[in-house]
Amino acid sequence: MTVREILKMGDPRLLRVAQPVAEFNTPELHALVHDMFDTMHAANGAGLAAPQIGVDLQVVIFGFKSNTRYPDAPQVPETVLINPVLTPVGEAMEDGWEGCLSVPGLRGVVPRHARLHYEGFDQFGNRIVRDAEEFHARVVQHEVDHLLGILYPMRIRDFSKFGYTSVLFPDLDPNEDD
């Protein structure tokens, strides 16, 4: 188990469309998922996508009971989601603040689908089928964007709501680097 280096915006590996996972329940896939959880927890992240540690595969993880980087966020179930397919439910979009471990020190308001149906597999190959809304839906859309080579600043429409976390949210723990 290893805390891996998180790539930062500007690295071309964050802009690739990730490859689907072909084989489940392998030692390599389990090792990747372990490393991703170690890396996400070390950074107090709400989610992490394999491309953020330079791995070109459709694997994301997310979830927490409470998170110091998003103290007002409701709980999201701890999830490993592989080869995901997202389907928006309804037309409603919702604005909300996002940060990203690959874009440290900044936050921005991003419009996302308010309600979402998503499907995929866990690391054992078990099928995952869920409906999500609010922060859960936002986290899934943010992480799956990483698999498409999209970072949240590319989704910002109102750049007056994009800035340094330390200025926008001075009450957040200054030891959090995002």
Q: Which residues are catalytic?
A: 143
By rule CB under 5 A, what count of residues binds Ni ion? 1
**Looking at 16-24, 94-102, 120-128, 160-168, which segment touches Ni ion (CB under 5 A)?**
94-102
100 binds Ni ion (CB under 5 A): yes
Instruction: Provide the minimum distance between the beta carbon of 108 and Ni ion in the complex, in angstroms, as a whole number.
Output: 12
Q: Quote the strand ranges of the chain, DSSP E.
A: 47-49, 59-64, 76-88, 93-98, 106-113, 115-121, 127-133, 162-164
- Using CA atoms, how far residue 23 sits from 6, 20, 126, 129, 135, in Å, is 25, 9, 12, 19, 30
Q: Nearest distance from residue 45's CB to Ni ion, in Å?
A: 8
Q: How many helices (H) and strands (E) does the chain have?
A: 3, 8
Nearer to Ni ion, 24 or 148 (CB): 148
Instruction: Give the nearer residue to Ni ion in terms of CB position, either 47 or 120.
Output: 47
Contact criterion met (CB below 8 Å) for 122 and 30: no
Indicate the residue whose CB is closest to Ni ion.
100
Residues in touch with Ni ion (CB under 5 A):
100
